[in-house]
């Protein structure tokens, strides 16, 4: 009798062990959690089509960057309705994916050398080897990729220095092509697949050959989540009293185009007067890229409903200016 009882107990224990073994093997691992995302104690912006991600720049009245704000200092509105911020990071240091667009049309011939030098210096400052990547496009009669994505600033510099000026200006076509390339950039190494997309365009803004209208160019930049920094080559300036302190007496149509690109995408437009000013414009871009916030929210209206949606970001602190993209197209945040 005792022997039979022992046999039964052994069988029960074996069955319990087997059940526990099966449960252990079928339990979801971190890689198999909903959304395919691993558990990670470090707060990061997750890759998700359900989130709208914003790069935000904040400055005071003296144009100094404000980098000590907290999540509670911001409010985000989509189509006028306040949204709940899901993720927040200061001074985001995400890998950069930069599209450098160099106008090589005949109109910028007198300043091409200065542009080449300034653009080369910019890339040497901003591109971190094994972290950031950029590609070079030129545009005159049509846009052309001169150097594909690379993290080698010297390789990009060599390609820049070889360019010559001539032909018309297909700016909008170049913006469309660059934006599409930025939509699917090379991913960074590591588990976090997030990158920041930046377009730096050097041009007078006077398009005379594009097949695409300006509206298409802006739309594609927004779809790519690209922030546009425009550096004008227009020298239509007026010096008043002191020639060392010129003032821009009006914005011509090309200037307005460049400003529009910047305003809609949360970037900046620069209007340098001298070669030294041109270099300073690139220094300002490099500085700004390291002084920004990253904010993400899940829109209260599902993305599946589509359409263009306006974005407004405000801060509770008085006297500050907040810049980010003006909106996005639902379905691709």
Pair (132, 85) in one structural domain: no
Q: Is residue 25 part of a domain?
A: no
Backbone angles phi, psi at 142, to 5 degrees: -155, 155
Pair (128, 152) in one structural domain: yes
CB-based burial label for 5 (10 Å; 0-12, 13-18, 19+): exposed
Q: How many residues does the chain have?
A: 333
Pair (82, 132) in one structural domain: no
Pair (70, 154) in one structural domain: no
Strands 308-315 and 268-270 come out as unpaired
Instruction: Tell me if 271 sits within 8 A of 234, measured CB to CB.
Output: yes
Pair (310, 175) in one structural domain: no
Pair (107, 203) in one structural domain: yes
Residue 12: per-residue pLDDT: 39
Residue 53: per-residue pLDDT: 94
Pair (124, 238) in one structural domain: yes
Q: Is residue 152 part of a domain?
A: yes
- Alpha-carbon distances of 187 from 6, 96, 132, 133, 310, rounded to whole Å: 60, 10, 10, 10, 28
What's the pLDDT band for 304 if we cut at 50, 70, 90? confident
Pair (179, 278) in one structural domain: yes
Pair (105, 231) in one structural domain: yes
What is the three-class DSSP state of 312?
Answer: strand
pLDDT digits (tens, 9 = 90+) for 24-51: 333 333 333 233 333 333 334 443 458 9
Name the average pLDDT for the chain: 84
Q: Is residue 47 part of a domain?
A: no
Q: Is residue 255 part of a domain?
A: yes
Q: Is 333 a residue whose pLDDT tops 70?
A: no
Pair (140, 206) in one structural domain: yes
Residue 237: per-residue pLDDT: 59
> Helix axis angle, 112-126 relative to 275-289, nearest 10°?
20
Q: Is 202 a residue whose pLDDT tops 70?
A: yes
Q: Is residue 211 part of a domain?
A: yes
From the centroid of its chain, how far is CA 80? 24
Structural domains in the chain (count)? 2
Q: Is residue 283 part of a domain?
A: yes
**Mean pLDDT computed over 71-99:** 94
- Domain containing residue 249: CATH number: 3.40.50.410
Pair (122, 252) in one structural domain: yes
Q: What is the pTM of this model?
A: 0.82
Range of the domain at 85: 52-92+305-329
Q: Is residue 264 part of a domain?
A: yes
Among 11-25, 86-100, 191-205, 311-325, the least confident range = 11-25
Instruction: Tell me if 163 sits within 8 A of 116, measured CB to CB.
Output: yes
Pair (284, 250) in one structural domain: yes
Better-scored residue on pLDDT, 291 or 251: 291
Q: Is residue 318 part of a domain?
A: yes
């Amino acid at each position: 009798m005792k022997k039979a009882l022992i046999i039964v107990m052994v069988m029960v224990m074996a069955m319990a062990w087997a059940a526990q073994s099966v449960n252990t093997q079928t339990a979801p691992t971190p890689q198999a959690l909903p959304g395919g995302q691993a558990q990670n104690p470090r707060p990061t912006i997750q890759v998700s089509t359900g989130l709208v991600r914003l790069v935000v720049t904040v400055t005071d009245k003296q144009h100094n960057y404000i980098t000590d704000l907290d999540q509670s200092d911001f409010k985000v509105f989509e189509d006028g309705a306040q949204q709940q911020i899901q993720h927040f990071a200061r001074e985001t240091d995400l890998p950069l994916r930069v599209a450098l667009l160099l106008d090589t049309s005949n109109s910028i011939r007198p300043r091409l050398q200065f542009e080449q030098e300034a653009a080369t210096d910019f890339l040497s400052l901003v591109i971190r080897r094994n972290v950031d990547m950029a590609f070079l496009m030129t545009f005159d009669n049509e846009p052309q990729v001169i150097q594909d994505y690379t993290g080698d600033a010297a390789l990009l510099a060599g390609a820049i220095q070889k360019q010559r000026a001539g032909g018309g200006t297909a700016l909008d076509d170049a913006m469309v092509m660059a934006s599409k390339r930025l939509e699917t950039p090379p991913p960074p190494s590591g588990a976090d697949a997030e990158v920041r997309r930046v377009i730096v365009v050097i041009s007078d803004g006077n398009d005379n050959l594009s097949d695409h209208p300006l509206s298409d160019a802006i739309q594609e930049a927004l779809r790519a989540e690209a922030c546009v920094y425009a550096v004008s080559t227009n020298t239509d300036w007026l010096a008043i009293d002191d020639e060392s302190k010129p003032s821009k007496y009006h914005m011509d149509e090309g200037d307005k185009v460049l400003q529009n690109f910047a305003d809609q995408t949360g970037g900046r437009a620069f209007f340098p007067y001298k070669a030294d000013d041109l270099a300073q414009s690139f220094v300002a871009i490099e500085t700004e890229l390291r002084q920004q916030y990253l904010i993400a929210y899940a829109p209260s209206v599902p993305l599946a409903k589509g359409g263009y949606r306006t974005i407004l970001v405000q801060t509770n602190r008085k006297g500050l200016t907040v810049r980010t993209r003006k909106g996005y197209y639902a379905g691709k945040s």
